[in-house]
């Protein structure tokens, strides 16, 4: 059985999560939390934790930028998939394995091959057991203790690979039922692996199907971390529909970073579903700002392809979700840096020259396009970091490999000041450019963009998807979408909305869980339609009568 999306939360989740948030407020607050101390004596070999951060054996920071790959269900896709994932710029891949409790076990020779393929493609490899998913709520799930025994059985394969792999004990190892039960088995599994002599960095997933909406991992993180005698432990939060506001995301991640408790976003999604609309833009921007890792779900092969980064394991069929992850703002292409273990250190100590003063164009209510004169470097400029300047404070807002970028997520009718740094492959950073002042425009009524795609087709029929994004600064409630088909297509079944059609003209009204599109957010509507030999996409869309950007 292939994993498709996260388990649905109960209908009272939002209210209960808010209540729980009040109860645990301050449990891990950057302003008040005492920095976590690294217990015991750390092994000097391989990837490890230093001062709350994941670093390589040579002490260089390593920030994961990558994706998940469903290897245990698609073993024949390993070689081509890892090569294609690397080609998109990733530096890490999280590989789904099975310990045999729920699916066919990945044996020692197979895991050795996974590690060899990761090393050949210069990818740091996070290995995870998926059988633990939803324990306590899903009766088919295995235990963390069983997963720990699986890793111990692979010790001969894993030993000596500390520079290249991280052991993620078990995927989402607790459901929503009694999530307090997560803490003790997590500590026990960590200590079982350490007792068996493992010195690898270990990753642990949160309960609540990985999303920790009842704050159990957050509340108990310090005691779990202290239980690891090596200090080489990193926490993994999975961010889906629970994390649908910027405040929830930044609060959670800043709490761990402020307390010097290592954390990564081990899985996350962006497309909206019936449980909410994850705020992937904030997830990626905050991860980049805090220099913490993220691993998007997933490369390909989901039962419902809405979370496929590419369709049919083919990078030529990259989805809108894939384009967002690999090539969007704060995406993998802009931010990933290959682990130095694959290329050795650098003797380059000369920083690039300062970039030219940026110039602003195409300024809208929520974005601005910046260009600048390129920097020069004795070896080569690897990229640029764009910062917002406010008095003596700088905030990184975008990264680019070339000398232009579109800064998004801005507020209408607001003044900003931006500047640019250049950096080379050795990590040397230039002096800051001069600043440019930008004032965003007012928000026009009905600001929106619409992405339309055909998910699949067959003789006489097809499946379509429409993503409606609110680019304004206030929520849109009770919306109506309008568009027209040119080739006689008709909508027969729709989810996420209710369709009415007259000739080629179609209007879509929301259902309860898509009724509100938050500012900067989106909702997705899917449908089954009939068609003839031609299936031209609609050329224009309106939302509440106002034209939307198509694309």
Dihedral (CA of 133, 135, 141, 142) sign: positive
Strand partners, 509: 498
**Closest to 121 in 3D by CA, of 289, 279, 306, 339:** 339
- CA dist 312 and 297 (Å) reads 15
**Closest to 128 in 3D by CA, of 92, 160, 91:** 92
- Please state the φ and ψ torsions of residue 321, each to the nearest 5 degrees: -65, -40
* Cis bond before residue 298 (omega within 30° of 0): yes
| Residue 56 a catalytic site member | no
Half-sphere exposure of 405 (CA within 13 A, CB side): 28
- CA dist 465 and 226 (Å) reads 47
| Residue 248 a catalytic site member | no
- CA dist 99 and 149 (Å) reads 9
The one catalytic residue among 128, 162, 172, 248: 172
Q: What is the dihedral of CA 160, 56, 403, 412, to 10 degrees?
A: 120
Q: What is the largest CA-CA distance in the chain?
A: 73
- CA dist 195 and 301 (Å) reads 37
The one catalytic residue among 38, 162, 248, 267: 267
Using DSSP bridges, classify how beta strands 415-424 and 381-390 pair: parallel, antiparallel or unpaired. Answer: antiparallel
**b/e string for 276-288 if b means 16 or more Cβ within 10 A?**
bbbbbbbbbbbbb
- CA dist 258 and 30 (Å) reads 4
User: What residues are labeled active site?
Assistant: 172, 267
């Amino acid at each position: 059985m292939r994993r498709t999306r996260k388990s649905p939360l109960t209908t009272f989740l939002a209210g209960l999560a808010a209540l729980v948030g009040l109860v645990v407020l301050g449990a891990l607050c950057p302003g008040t939390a005492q920095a976590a101390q690294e217990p015991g004596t750390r092994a000097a070999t391989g990837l490890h934790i230093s001062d709350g951060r994941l670093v390589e054996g040579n002490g260089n920071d390593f920030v994961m930028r990558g994706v998940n790959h469903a290897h245990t269900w698609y073993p024949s896709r390993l070689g081509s998939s890892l090569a294609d994932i690397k080609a998109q710029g990733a530096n890490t891949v999280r590989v789904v394995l099975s310990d045999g409790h729920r699916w066919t076990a990945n044996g020692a020779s197979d895991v050795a091959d996974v590690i060899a393929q990761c090393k050949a493609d210069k990818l740091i490899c996070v290995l995870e057991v998926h059988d633990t998913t939803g324990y306590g709520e899903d009766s088919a799930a295995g235990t963390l203790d069983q997963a720990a025994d699986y890793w111990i059985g692979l010790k001969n394969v894993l030993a000596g690979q500390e520079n290249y792999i991280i052991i993620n004990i078990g995927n989402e190892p607790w459901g929503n039922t009694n999530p307090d039960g997560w803490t003790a088995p997590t500590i026990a599994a960590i200590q079982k692996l350490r007792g068996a002599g493992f010195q690898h960095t270990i990753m642990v997933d949160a309960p609540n199907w990985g999303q920790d909406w009842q704050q159990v991992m957050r509340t108990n993180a310090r005691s779990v971390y202290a239980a690891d005698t090596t200090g080489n432990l990193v926490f993994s939060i999975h961010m889906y529909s629970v994390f649908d506001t910027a405040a929830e995301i930044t609060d959670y991640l800043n709490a761990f970073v402020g307390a010097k408790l290592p954390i990564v976003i081990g899985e996350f999604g962006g497309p909206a579903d019936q449980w909410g609309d994850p705020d992937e833009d904030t997830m990626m921007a905050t991860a980049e700002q805090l220099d913490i890792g993220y691993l998007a779900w997933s490369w390909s092969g989901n039962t419902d392809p809405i979370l496929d980064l590419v369709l049919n394991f083919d990078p030529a069929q990259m989805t809108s979700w894939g384009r967002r992850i690999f090539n969007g703002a704060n995406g993998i292409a802009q931010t990933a840096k290959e682990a130095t273990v694959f290329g050795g250190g650098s003797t380059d100590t000369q920083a690039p020259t300062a970039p030219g003063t940026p110039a602003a164009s195409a300024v809208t209510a929520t974005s601005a396009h910046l260009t600048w004169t390129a920097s020069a470097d004795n070896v080569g400029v690897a990229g640029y970091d764009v910062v917002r300047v406010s008095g003596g404070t700088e905030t990184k807002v975008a990264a680019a490999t070339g000398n232009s970028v579109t800064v998004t997520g801005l507020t209408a009718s607001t003044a900003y000041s931006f500047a640019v740094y250049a950096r080379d492959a050795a990590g040397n950073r230039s002096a800051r450019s001069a600043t440019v002042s930008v004032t965003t425009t007012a928000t026009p009524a009905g600001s929106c963009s619409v992405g339309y795609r055909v998910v699949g087709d067959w003789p006489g029929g097809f499946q379509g998807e429409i993503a409606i994004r609110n680019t304004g600064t206030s929520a849109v409630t009770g919306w109506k979408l309008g568009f027209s088909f040119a080739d006689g297509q008709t909508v027969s079944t729709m989810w996420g909305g209710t369709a009415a059609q007259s000739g080629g003209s179609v209007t879509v009204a929301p259902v309860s869980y898509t009724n509100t599109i938050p500012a900067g957010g989106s909702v997705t509507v899917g449908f089954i339609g009939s068609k003839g030999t031609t299936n031209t996409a609609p050329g224009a869309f309106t939302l509440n009568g106002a034209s939307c950007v198509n694309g």
